[in-house]
Amino acid sequence: MPRERAAKVMLIAYMAWLFYVALGPPPQGTEIPHLDKLMHALSWGLLAAFSVAAWPQRLRLAVVLAGVHGGLTELLQGAMVAGRHADWLDWLADLLGAAVLVALISWARRRRSAAA
* pTM reported for the whole predicted model: 0.90
Q: Tell me: the pLDDT tens digits for 90-113? A: 999 999 999 999 999 999 999 998
Band (pLDDT 50/70/90 cuts) for residue 1 is low
Region of residue 112 (left: phi > 0; alpha: psi -120 to 50; beta: else): alpha
CA distance 66 to 35: 19
pLDDT tens by residue, 36-88: 999 999 999 999 999 999 999 999 999 999 999 999 999 999 898 888 889 99
